[in-house]
Amino acid sequence: MGVGFITTRDALRGSDGDRVRLRGWVYRKRDLGNKVFIVLRDSEGILQCVADKGSKAFQEAQRATIESSIIVEGVLRSDPRAPGGKEVSLDSLTIVGLADDFPIKGGESVDYLLDVRHLWLRSRALTQVMRIRSTVLKALRDYFTSNGWWEVSPPILTQSAVEGGATLFAVDFFGKRAYLSQSAQFYLEVMIFSLEKVWSLTPSFRAERSRTRRHLYEYWHLEAEAAWMDMHDMMKVVEGLVKEAVRRVLDERLEELSFLKRKTEPLEATLSASFPEVTYDEAIEILRRKGFNIKWGDDIGADEERALTEDQQTPFFLTMFPKHLKSFYMKVDDSRPDVVLGFDLEAPEGYGEVVGGSQREDRYDMLYKRIIENNLRPEDYQWYLDLRKYGSVPHSGFGLGVDRLVMWIAGLDHIRDSIPFPRLRERIYP
């Protein structure tokens, strides 16, 4: 079926007089009576086509409605008024699927557009984001695959919380309670005892209390875990990974960034920077200088993160948190028993956390103590504790929110537009 078709992108690179055949959807249409202009949309872009009265294409062009799928044939010619400088003078136009009156005409509200998400995904803006997202995903996978990491497949239906009970979604598992995974971390920790360096890409679920621009209830979580690595070794991995994603988007998706009016300076700066480390202690100092009424031990929340990142051009690590702010599995610092060896990667320009990671507590007694301190039940973590009994090893890992990374790279205002089918509080649709 594909024989002889070219894309709109190929056509824009063609020469005057070339005979071309394309297929796609009617993006815009203007009927002047003696000619019909149709802007054809495909996955690569748009191309203006014109059917003159008297041509075989004219009647069908008149009949074609917005978003009808069509096949066109004609001759390419330069026209400075056409988008991209080229148009096709049509010999024939075949309607494959005639569209009903398309319910999106421009100027609709965000709510309405979410109701018709299955159709709104055809919009040019979302198309650019989805192309960027695909390139980010490929870069992330390639980074691991070409650096000797093993991909593993952890479960989604789980028994216990990784990141605290407050954001767990419970499901009924044949009369028993099970939960949707918040993080594959504990399963990845199991796998390092055989494979040493492992990663996975899975959906994670969080029943977040508050609605924000950067929280989804279901998001895509890229996680990695490695034996023998301390937190700084693992921070190097995060830096390499994020740079690879940025590099690939700059190499391959510049047109998409420009369509979205994304400034590329911060992305270029990110490639040449080495990501600095700012300790929690230093962050508290910076925030106090910025006028925040904050003291050691307080949480660094969304407002604080925005203040720390909005004047930055490149990502940086926030590290060494008070242990009561972080999860029980983070390793306690030997020299400061109230601090853990944790790190977050903060995206600049106000975006904030995109990665959370740490060195893991690898001492059985200390981990047991931390479970009790956090009012958790050791019996729920028996298999996790077991890992510290049979050949425990220093190890570290992290989780990266793919949707947040895409949001920052593409410069989006809201995380919902980084993913095709966002799960939002008001709706699970489509």
Where do contacts with ligand 4AD occur on this chain (CB under 6 A)? 162-163, 182-183, 185, 206, 208, 215-216, 219, 221, 223, 353-357, 397-399, 401, 403-404
Q: Which is nearer to ligand 4AD, 55 or 200 (CB)?
A: 200
Structure tokens at 395: 């190890």
CB contact at 8 A, 378 and 388: no
Please choose which of Mg ion, ligand 4AD, none residue 333 contacts, taking the beta carbon within 5 to 8 angstroms, the exact cut-off set by kind.
Answer: none
Whole-angstrom Cα distance, residue 360 to residue 362?
Answer: 6
Q: Which does 162 bind (CB under 5 to 8 A by kind): ligand 4AD, Mg ion, none?
A: ligand 4AD
Closest contact distance (angstroms) between CB of 184 and Mg ion is: 15
Residue 221 touches which of Mg ion, ligand 4AD, none (Cβ within 5-8 Å per kind): ligand 4AD
Q: How far is the CB of 128 from ligand 4AD (least distance, A)?
A: 21
Residue 352 binds Mg ion, judged by CB under 5 A: no
Residue number of the CB atom closest to Mg ion:
356
**Closer Cβ to Mg ion, 45 or 322, answer by number:** 322
Token pair for 360: 């893991």
Q: Which is nearer to ligand 4AD, 83 or 350 (CB)?
A: 350
46 neighbors 26 (Cβ within 8 angstroms): no
Q: Sheet with 170-173: list strands edge to edge.
A: 157-158, 176-180, 170-173
Residue 235 contact, options ligand 4AD, Mg ion, none, Cβ 5-8 Å cut-off depending on partner type? none
Nearer to Mg ion, 37 or 169 (CB): 169
Residue 356 in contact with Mg ion, rule: CB under 5 A: yes
Residue 252 site contact among ligand 4AD, Mg ion, none (CB < 5 to 8 Å, cut-off depends on kind): none
Nearest CA-CA partner of 236 in 404, 410, 398, 350: 398
Nearest distance from residue 353's CB to ligand 4AD, in Å?
Answer: 5
Residues 6+ apart with CB under 8 A from 316: 275, 276, 277, 278, 345, 346, 348
| Residue 337: alpha-carbon gap to chain centroid | 35
397 binds Mg ion (CB under 5 A): no
DSSP 167: G
59-67, 272-280, 334-342, 350-358 -> range binding Mg ion (CB under 5 A): 350-358
Binding residues for Mg ion, how many (CB under 5 A)?
Answer: 1
CB distance 159 to 179 below 8 Å: yes
Shortest approach of ligand 4AD to residue 340 CB, angstroms? 12
Looking only at the bridges linking them, the beta strands covering 277-279 and 316-322 are parallel
Please check whether residue 338 is in contact with residue 323, taking contact to mean a CB–CB distance below 8 angstroms: yes
Name residues whose C-beta falls within 8 Å of residue 203's C-beta, 6 or more positions apart in sequence.
156, 181, 218, 219, 220, 221
Could you say which of Mg ion, ligand 4AD, none residue 208 binds, taking C-beta under 5 to 8 angstroms by partner kind?
ligand 4AD
Q: Which residues bind Mg ion (CB under 5 A)?
A: 356
